[in-house]
Structure 1
Amino acid sequence: MVLWGGRFINESHKLFKKFNTSLSFDYILVKEDIIASIAWSKALMKSNILTAEEQIKIESGLLSLLTEIKDNIKNILTSDCEDIHSWVELNLINKIGQLGKKLHTGRSRNDQITTDLRLWCRNEVHIILSNLVNLQKHFILIAEANYNVIIPGYTHLQRAQPITFSYWCLAYVEMLRRDESRLKDVLKRLNISPLGSGALSGAAWKIDREELAASMGFNSASNNALDSVSDRDYVIELLSCASICMMHLSRFSEDLIFFNSGEANFIELSDLVTSGSSLMPQKKNPDALELIRGKCGRVYGSLNSILVVLKALPLSYNKDMQEDKEGLFNSIKTWNDCLCIAVLILKNIKINTECCRQAAEESYSNATEIADYLVKKGLTFREAHNISGQLVLRAISEKKSLNNLQLSVFKIYSNLIEDDIYKNITLESCLEKRLSKGGVAPCQVHQEIIDAKKRLNIN
C-alpha cells in the first residue's frame, strides 16, 4: 500500500519500489507512529472531525496493533508497504474498516515522519543519559578502590609527572559529565512537536497544536511549519553528541590498551572482555577496547553523512531526508553498546599496583620537584630547570632514579641542595603539593570523589 496514487495512471516499477521503500529500517518507529497517531486522533475529535466513538475505535485499533507486534516487531518486515506510516494505516484499516481512512485527515507524512523520529530520539536520549551516569558511577567506584595507586602521567606519550589511577579515572568522569550536559541541552531543542505542521504550511483544520504537543510529552509545538518538516538539526546535534562521547570512549580505550600492554603492564583485562589468537597461544587481546576505538569512526561517518545530505537542500521536505535514519539508528545503538561494554571492562579490571609505582619512580617524573625546590631556595625557575635537567642526565648515566643519587652528587650541581631534597622528591610529595583546584593532591582527589558520589547518588 502507498499513501498516494490518485494522481498516477501507471504503477511504480518494482525496482523503484524497492529503491524507494524505507520500511526495512523505519519499522523500528512503529511504537512512536502509533503514539503520535493516537494523539492525532484525539486532536481530530476535538476539532469535530471524528466523533468520540470513532476516536475510541481508532485508538483501540492502534493499541491492538501495538500489542500484536510487541513481541516480534520484525514481523512488520514481511509487508510490502512503503514505510512504517503506510503499514500502520493499512493495518488499521484492515482492523477497523473504512473508519481507519479518516485518521490521516489534515496530517502529512512530512510532519508525521519528524514527529516519530523526535519521539524515538527523546526516548533514546533518556536511555543514553542513564548509561552515561552508570559509566561515571563505575569510574568513581574504581577511583575510590584504587585511591593510593600511583601511575606515571603522560604527555607526548612520554612519562611526565606522577598521578594516581584515581585521578586518571576522574578525568574521564569530567568528560562524561560534559557529554551528559550536552545531551541534556540537546533534549531541550529536541523535545518540540512538529505534528500539525502538515506538508509544509500548517493544518487547514482547527487543531490546538500546543495541547497536541503536551499530550505527547513535548514541551511545546514548533513555530514555523516550513521549518518544522525540514528540520533535522536535532539529528545533527544528537550525532554530534554521540561523536564527542565516542571520541572520549576511544581515548579511554587507547589508554587502557596501552596500560594493558606488556610494555606497561599497569592493568590486566578480564577474560570476559578479551580474546585469544588463532595461532599464538600466549596472546590475550583487548578486543573490546579495540572495537570501541574502531566504532568511533562509524559514528563520525553518520554525522558527516547527515551534514552532507542537508547541505544546500532546499526547503522544505525532500526525499533525500529519508537518509537521516539508518546512520542515526546505527550510531545510537553503537553508542549505547560501547557505554555498556565500557562498564563491563571497568568492573572487571585488575590494577598491577607495584608495576604502576615502579614505572612512576623510574621515569624521572619528579624532576620538576627539584626545580621547584631550587626556586624556593632563591634561584629563578629557568636556572633551576637547567640544573634539574643536568641531574636527570647524571641519574640516567648512573642508571639510578633521582631519589637514589648521593647528596654529594646533588651538590655538584647546586650547593643550595640539602638533605631535605629527598623528602621533597618522593612520589607522595609530588602528589601532595598539587593542592590547587583540579590538582592531583590526594585531598583534592578525595573531595572530588565525595562530590561526584553525591552528584551521582552513590551510597
Structure 2
Amino acid sequence: MLSYGFAFVSDLERLGEVIKRVNRTSRDRDMITKELGFDCLIWNSMASVSDRDFVSETLQWAIARQEWPCFWSHGWLDTQKALPSTYKKDLQEVSDSIHIANGVLATLKVDGAMMKAALDPFMLATGAADYLVRKGVPFRETHHISGQCVAKSEETGIPMNELSFEQLKAIDSRFEEGITETFVYETSVERRSAKGDTSKSLVLEQI
C-alpha cells in the first residue's frame, strides 16, 4: 500500500510540472500574462498559435494518473508471477526513438537555396492587411482587401509582389506608394517586431 502512496504523490508532483509548462500565453504579451495569471509568455509567435501541448500534457497526466489506481485495483484482484505490482513488461523500453531522432538532427543539412526558391509572393498577402491596419483600418476589412490583392494577382498572372501601385490603389484608395515595400520578403519579416516575432534580432534573441 505504501508503494502506491508514493506513486500517487509522484502523480501530484507531475501535475505541478505540467502546470508550469502549460500556464503560458502568446497574446499581448507582458500585461496579459500578468493580468491572467500565466507564469510566462510563449516567446515564439508561430509556436504559440500551433501549440497544443497544454491539451496533450494535461491529458497525458490524466491518463498517467489513472494508471496507478488501475494497478492498485488489479493488485487486489489477482497477482502476476506472485507480484501484484512492479513487474509489467509493457513498461519496459521497446524502441530507440530518442536515439534515432538525435541522429536525424545531428546529420540534418538545411538547403538555403531551396528554401529561398520555395518563397511564394502569396506569403506576403497578410502584409497588405497589416499595412492598412497600421493606418487605422479594422482588420476585418483589411483581411478582405488582401484577398482582393491575391485575386488581382491570379487574374492578371502578375506575382503579387510585382503588382503596380496603380493596380493596388484601384483595389483600395487607402493604399499609398509605400505599400510596394510591404511586398519585399525581408521587409515583411523585419516588420514583425513584437516579442516572439520573426525579425532577425528577435529570432537571434530566441536562439
- The TM-score, its normalising length taken from structure 1, stands at 0.30
Residue 105 of structure 2 aligns to a residue whose secondary structure is helix
* Counterpart among 99, 113, 117 of residue 358 in structure 1: 117
Q: Is residue 321 from structure 1 mapped to residue 85 from structure 2 by the alignment?
A: yes
> 1:439 Cα deviation (Å)?
1.6
Partner of 1:262: none
CA contact (8 A) 1:434 1:440 kept: yes
> 1:377 Cα deviation (Å)?
2.8
Mapping of 1:240-255 within 5 angstroms?
A: none
> 1:386 Cα deviation (Å)?
1.3
Partner of 1:384: 142
* Change beyond 3 A, Cα 1:433–1:306: same
Distance in 2 of aligned mates of 1:229 and 1:421? 65
Q: Is residue 339 from structure 1 mapped to residue 102 from structure 2 by the alignment?
A: no
Distance in 1 of aligned mates of 2:154 and 2:147? 11
> 1:373 Cα deviation (Å)?
0.8
Q: Is residue 310 from structure 1 mapped to residue 74 from structure 2 by the alignment?
A: no
Distance in 1 of aligned mates of 2:149 and 2:99? 47
Distance in 1 of aligned mates of 2:73 and 2:132? 62
CA contact (8 A) 1:309 1:321 kept: no
- What one-letter code is carried by the residue in structure 2 that aligns with 1:310? F
> 1:304 Cα deviation (Å)?
9.9
Distance in 2 of aligned mates of 1:368 and 1:447? 24
> 1:311 Cα deviation (Å)?
6.0
Partner of 1:330: 93
Distance in 2 of aligned mates of 1:369 and 1:396? 17
Residue 423 of structure 1 aligns to a residue whose secondary structure is helix
* Counterpart among 228, 231, 251 of residue 3 in structure 2: 228
> 1:361 Cα deviation (Å)?
2.4
Distance in 1 of aligned mates of 2:133 and 2:66? 54
Distance in 2 of aligned mates of 1:329 and 1:314? 19
Distance in 2 of aligned mates of 1:327 and 1:306? 13
CA contact (8 A) 1:368 1:385 kept: yes
Between structure 1 and structure 2, the one with the greater Rg is 1
> 1:384 Cα deviation (Å)?
1.6
Distance in 2 of aligned mates of 1:341 and 1:430? 37
Q: Deviations over 1:403-448 (max 9, x none)?
A: 1112221111112223311212322122212222222221111112
* Change beyond 3 A, Cα 1:229–1:378: closer
Q: Deviations over 1:217-266 (max 9, x none)?
A: xxxxxxxxx323665458879x99xxxxxxxxxxxxxxxxxxxxxxxxxx
* Change beyond 3 A, Cα 1:328–1:232: farther
CA contact (8 A) 2:150 2:160 kept: yes
Partner of 1:436: 194
Distance in 2 of aligned mates of 1:374 and 1:367? 12
Q: Deviations over 1:277-299 (max 9, x none)?
A: xxxxxxxxxxxxxxxxxxxxxxx
Distance in 1 of aligned mates of 2:74 and 2:6? 11
Q: Is residue 410 from structure 1 mapped to residue 168 from structure 2 by the alignment?
A: yes
> 1:354 Cα deviation (Å)?
2.7
Moved over 3 A (4+): 229-237, 302-309, 311-315, 317-320
* Change beyond 3 A, Cα 1:304–1:396: farther
Residue 142 of structure 2 aligns to a residue whose secondary structure is helix
* Counterpart among 191, 204, 207 of residue 446 in structure 1: 204
* Change beyond 3 A, Cα 1:342–1:416: same
> 1:303 Cα deviation (Å)?
6.0
> 1:313 Cα deviation (Å)?
4.2
- What one-letter code is carried by the residue in structure 2 that aligns with 1:328? L
Residue 119 of structure 2 aligns to a residue whose secondary structure is helix
> 1:345 Cα deviation (Å)?
0.9
Q: Deviations over 1:389-411 (max 9, x none)?
A: 11111112333432111222111
CA contact (8 A) 2:4 2:72 kept: no
CA contact (8 A) 2:131 2:179 kept: yes
Q: Is residue 370 from structure 1 mapped to residue 128 from structure 2 by the alignment?
A: yes
* Change beyond 3 A, Cα 1:320–1:230: farther
* Change beyond 3 A, Cα 1:389–1:322: same
Q: Is residue 348 from structure 1 mapped to residue 112 from structure 2 by the alignment?
A: no
- What one-letter code is carried by the residue in structure 2 that aligns with 1:410? L
Partner of 2:49: none
Aligned residues: 156
> 1:342 Cα deviation (Å)?
1.6
Partner of 1:293: none
Residue 310 of structure 1 aligns to a residue whose secondary structure is helix
More displaced stretch, 420-429 vs 350-359 = 350-359
